[in-house]
Amino acid sequence: MVRAEWAIFEEDYWAINNALEALVQSSQAKHVLLVDRTGQMIAQAGDDPQFDTQSFASLCAADFEANFALAKLIGEDDFSTLYHQGAQDSMYLGKICKGVVVAVVFDKSTTLGLVRLRVKKAVEELNVIIEGLYDKLQYRNEEYDPFDEEFSEGVEQEIDNLFVE
């Protein structure tokens, strides 16, 4: 089952925002976005992005879905992080529990090593927050199947919709 809506309590909202702001500061990143497996943006921190954040969120979810399938093909259970290097900007994605992904966009003013180190710490903190949120809302009682077939079809449709002329 895919949970497409989010109910976040005020204390969780501030905990998530504080964790993301700390990640921006400690990693010297430009933008940090928290995205769920349906492609919905949960939160963001850092500079205001000069790109469509909803499209970015959808594509991040699709990126993790594709890499989940690739991991299975080579005999891995999953890939917990992804890295994409560009000429000017790069991005590093880290998997959080319940199919949530943190996406860090950074430029050459910082290093991949620093980003990796800071994302690892942030993922640990965000795991606790997200697990606590699910416990509060009793999502835990629902079966959680990361990247099920229904989700894959939905992601494919969203990608197709992004590129329709």
Q: How far apart are CA 125 and CA 133, in angstroms?
A: 13
pTM of the model: 0.78
Asked if 59 contacts 159 with a C-beta cutoff of 8 angstroms, the reply is yes
CATH, domain range 10-158: 3.30.450.30
Share of the chain above pLDDT 90, in %: 58
Task: Say what the pLDDT of residue 3 is.
Answer: 47
Q: Where are the domains of the chain?
A: 10-158
pLDDT of res. 9: 82
Q: How confident is the model at residue 148 (pLDDT cuts 50, 70, 90)?
A: low
pLDDT digits (tens, 9 = 90+) for 100-132: 999 999 999 999 999 999 999 999 999 999 988
